């Protein structure tokens, strides 16, 4: 397919319009998404000459992917509503505040350490759905709560969810490049992790907060990034989870040190919305009981995914569909797929979340009467409806842009524009894919082979570009519409997605540029 200025501008138009509508016009995502979908359809039909059968089958793929995501959205919000109605979050806050009176330490614990732990197991926005409301509960402004969690958890987008995105990338990677790819990904993602944590401190109190929080940030980032870097070469499925678990334990121990258990806070922090309350009575449940649904979630996921006989048994139920592929009038081909995105309901994160919801109801039955359950269901449906509209439209848009060649055209334009300097922008390809598809795994599938082909054309190490690809995809988790919508939904601020993106976009752009510079140095200093 020929690349020219018109085709390039038209390919970028849906993404540019999305940014304009969300950030400058401040439209809610559920309102902007249908407009972007309509524009993508018109462009695909009228300029990129996609036939209706091809668009229909790609739309079916998008709906199938949306179902898997929306099941997680619904069950994550349901778990949140159950815990919130039962008073579990109040009990968590009570317990954590007894653990430490250091407000910055509490911000890092709830917005950085705990969401990273959840990302290591579940992914699919669960870390955002859980972490952002916890920050709101401690007094963080809702929009800032979403921003903090988005930036602090995104590092787990590659080896998190037990390595799904990494495994997807390795499907198209030559065996001899895997060591270099793991090393590059580990180093770059460590950088992403450190930047996210430092941003939390900066948002809270700029230089003063950075000085106060530096020791704990460096310690946790060493365990997160360094631990994952060491483990990635030996156990890619557990690298993120084990590193995040070690960091969680370390954070609890740090809360017991003299420096971080004392009372400390900045009165004029711009991200805090403190309200003076009279002394609250001790919650009816203990901290352990309040946390038990998430412990149950972690244990259940680990058992089902890591105990091989059990995993094999649960994976027997698999649902997938075949698609014939097709070709546009401009010659861009979409390959046929025999088993598209197999859905295994008993090993899907939504199943673990559903079990946790049932477990929560049993544990909280004394504080959660049956009459409250209907209210929980009603609020859950009300919150997930805008998310459903946004997720479905965004995924349909991504499939249409993919089958029409718009996404690949944008990526190839980067190569022609930058030439040998392409490694500098390689992470932006991963970021673009993650932003468009709301998934680092989908981004790796979409652009993994493209990165290896580009590396061959440029004569550089394929592993470095693959590592940069997935690091960029991890960065993109902070701005992917699905996570942004989910965070705004669970903090009861739907319609503020543009405000969140306005704050997060500059940070992700700078982080991707730093990762690109690191990849460029790795290639040109012959380290890899």
Residue pLDDT, tens place only, 352-387: 889 989 999 999 988 887 778 889 999 899 888 887
Give SS3 for 501.
Answer: helix
What CA–CA distance (Å, rounded) separates 453 from 281?
Answer: 63
Cα 398 vs. chain centroid, distance in angstroms? 17
Cα 206 vs. chain centroid, distance in angstroms? 25
* Sign of torsion over alpha carbons 436, 442, 446, 449: positive
Question: Which tens digits make up the pLDDT trace of 37-78?
Answer: 999 999 999 999 999 999 999 999 989 988 887 887 788 788
What CA–CA distance (Å, rounded) separates 86 from 42?
Answer: 48
Closest Cα to residue 111, out of 227, 2, 223, 271?
271
Q: Residue 277's pLDDT band (boundaries 50, 70, 90)? A: very low
- Output the pLDDT for position 278: 45
Residue 259 CB-half CA count within 13 A: 11
Query: Which two structure tokens, joined as six digits, stand for 112?
Result: 């950085």
Question: Which tens digits make up the pLDDT trace of 112-127?
Answer: 998 998 888 767 677 8
- Output the pLDDT for position 272: 93
Query: Which two structure tokens, joined as six digits, stand for 207?
Result: 């230089």
Closest Cα to residue 402, out of 326, 476, 459, 310?
326
Asked if the model's pLDDT at residue 218 lies above 90, the reply is yes
User: Quick check: 467 and 521 in contact, CB under 8 A?
Assistant: no
The mean per-residue pLDDT over the stretch 306-335 comes to 90
Q: Residue 276's pLDDT band (boundaries 50, 70, 90)? A: low
Q: What percent of the chain shows pLDDT beyond 90?
A: 40
DSSP assigned state of 280: P
**Residue 397, phi-psi category: left (phi > 0), alpha (psi -120 to 50), beta (remainder):** alpha
**Phi and psi torsions of 140, nearest 5°:** -75, 140
Q: Is 261 exposed, middle or buried (0-12, 13-18, 19+ CB in 10 A)?
A: middle
Beta-carbon count within 10 A of 71 CB? 19
DSSP assigned state of 21: I
- Output the pLDDT for position 280: 57
Task: Characterize 467-482 residue by residue with b for buried, 16 or more Cβ atoms within 10 angstroms of its Cβ, and e for exposed.
Answer: bbbbbbbbbbbbbbbb
pTM of the model: 0.76
Between the alpha carbon of residue 466 and those of residues 37, 134, 184, 191, 418, the distances in Å are 30, 35, 8, 16, 17
Query: Which two structure tokens, joined as six digits, stand for 180?
Result: 């270099």
Asked if the model's pLDDT at residue 527 lies above 60, the reply is no
Average pLDDT, the chain: 87
Query: Which two structure tokens, joined as six digits, stand for 104?
Result: 């910055």
Asked if the model's pLDDT at residue 136 lies above 70, the reply is yes
* Sign of torsion over alpha carbons 100, 201, 477, 248: negative
Residue 383 CB contacts under 8 Å (≥ 6 apart), including other chains = 77, 81, 489, 490, 492, 494
- Output the pLDDT for position 266: 93
List 319's β-bridge partners, or say none.
343
- Three-state SS string over 165-216 comes to HHHHHHCCCCHHHHHHHHHHHHHHHHHHHHHHHHHHHHHHHHHHHHHHHHHH
Cα 34 vs. chain centroid, distance in angstroms? 22
Q: 148 or 239: which carries more pLDDT confidence?
A: 148
- Averaging pLDDT over each range in 331-345, 395-409, 416-430, 510-524, which range is the top one? 510-524
Cα 328 vs. chain centroid, distance in angstroms? 32
Question: Which tens digits make up the pLDDT trace of 223-268?
Answer: 999 999 998 877 777 789 889 989 999 999 999 999 998 999 998 9
What CA–CA distance (Å, rounded) separates 207 from 170?
Answer: 41
Query: Among 10-14, 217-221, 386-390, 463-467, where is mean pLDDT lowest?
Result: 386-390
Q: Residue 106's pLDDT band (boundaries 50, 70, 90)? A: very high
Give the angle 10-11-17 at the CA atoms, nearest 5°.
Answer: 75
Question: Which tens digits make up the pLDDT trace of 448-499?
Answer: 877 887 888 788 889 999 999 999 999 999 998 878 888 888 887 777 788 8
- Enumerate long-range contacts of 497-500, CB under 8 Å, 24 or more apart: 497/22, 497/28, 497/29, 498/21, 498/22, 498/23, 498/24, 498/25, 498/26, 498/27, 499/26, 499/143, 500/143, 500/146, 500/147, 500/150
What CA–CA distance (Å, rounded) separates 103 from 260?
Answer: 9
Query: Which two structure tokens, joined as six digits, stand for 187?
Result: 């180093």
Residue 399 CB contacts under 8 Å (≥ 6 apart), including other chains = 58, 59, 61, 62, 65
Question: Which tens digits make up the pLDDT trace of 169-211?
Answer: 886 677 778 888 999 999 999 999 999 999 999 999 999 999 9
Query: Which two structure tokens, joined as six digits, stand for 423?
Result: 């490694």
């Amino acid at each position: 397919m020929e690349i020219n200025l018109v085709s390039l501008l038209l390919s970028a138009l849906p993404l540019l319009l999305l940014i304009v509508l969300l950030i400058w016009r401040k439209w809610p995502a559920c309102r902007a998404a249908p407009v972007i979908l309509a524009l993508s359809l018109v462009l695909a039909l009228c300029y990129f000459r996609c036939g209706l059968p091809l668009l229909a089958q790609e739309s079916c793929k998008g709906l199938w992917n949306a179902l898997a995501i929306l099941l997680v959205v619904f069950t994550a919000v349901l778990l949140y509503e159950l815990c919130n109605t039962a008073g579990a979050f109040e009990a968590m806050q009570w317990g954590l505040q007894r653990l430490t009176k250091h407000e910055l330490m509490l911000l890092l614990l709830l917005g950085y350490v705990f969401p990273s732990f959840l990302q290591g197991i579940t992914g699919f926005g669960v870390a955002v759905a859980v972490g952002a409301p916890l920050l709101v509960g401690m007094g963080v402004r809702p929009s800032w709560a979403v921003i903090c969690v988005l930036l602090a958890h995104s590092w787990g987008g590659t080896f998190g969810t037990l390595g799904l995105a990494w495994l997807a990338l390795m499907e198209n990677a030559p065996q001899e490049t895997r060591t270099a790819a793991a090393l590059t990904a580990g180093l770059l993602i460590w950088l992403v992790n450190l930047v996210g944590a430092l941003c939390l401190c900066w948002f809270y109190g700029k230089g003063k907060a950075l000085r106060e929080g530096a020791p704990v940030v460096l310690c946790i980032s060493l365990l997160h990034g360094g631990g994952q870097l060491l483990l990635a070469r030996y156990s890619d499925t557990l690298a993120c989870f084990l590193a995040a678990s070690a960091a969680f334990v370390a954070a609890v121990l740090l809360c017991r040190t003299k420096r971080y258990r004392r009372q400390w806070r900045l009165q004029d922090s711009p991200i805090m919305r403190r309200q003076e309350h009279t002394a609250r009575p001790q919650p009816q449940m203990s901290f352990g009981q309040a946390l038990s649904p998430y412990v149950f979630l972690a244990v259940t996921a680990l058992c089902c995914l890591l105990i091989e006989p059990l995993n094999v048994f649960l994976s027997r139920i698999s649902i997938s569909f075949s698609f014939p592929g097709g070709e546009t009038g401009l010659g861009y081909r979409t390959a046929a797929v025999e088993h598209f995105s197999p859905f295994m309901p008993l090993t899907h994160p939504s199943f673990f979340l559903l079990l946790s919801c049932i477990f929560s109801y049993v544990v909280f039955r004394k504080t959660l009467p049956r009459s409250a359950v209907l209210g929980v269901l009603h609020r859950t449906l009300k919150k997930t409806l805008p998310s459903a509209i946004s997720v479905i439209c965004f995924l349909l848009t991504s499939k249409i842009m993919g089958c029409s060649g718009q996404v690949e055209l944008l990526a190839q334009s980067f190569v022609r524009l930058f030439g040998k300097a392409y490694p500098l922008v390689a992470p932006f390809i991963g970021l673009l894919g993650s932003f468009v598809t709301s998934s680092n795994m989908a981004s790796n599938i979409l652009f993994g082979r493209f990165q290896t082909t580009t590396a061959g054309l440029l004569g550089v190490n394929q592993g470095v570009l693959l590592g940069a690809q997935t690091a960029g995809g991890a960065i993109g988790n902070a701005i992917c519409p699905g996570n942004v919508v989910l965070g705004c939904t669970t903090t009861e601020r739907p319609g503020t997605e543009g405000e969140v993106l306005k704050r997060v976009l500059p940070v992700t752009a700078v982080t991707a540029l730093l990762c690109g510079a690191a990849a460029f140095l790795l290639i040109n200093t012959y380290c890899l």
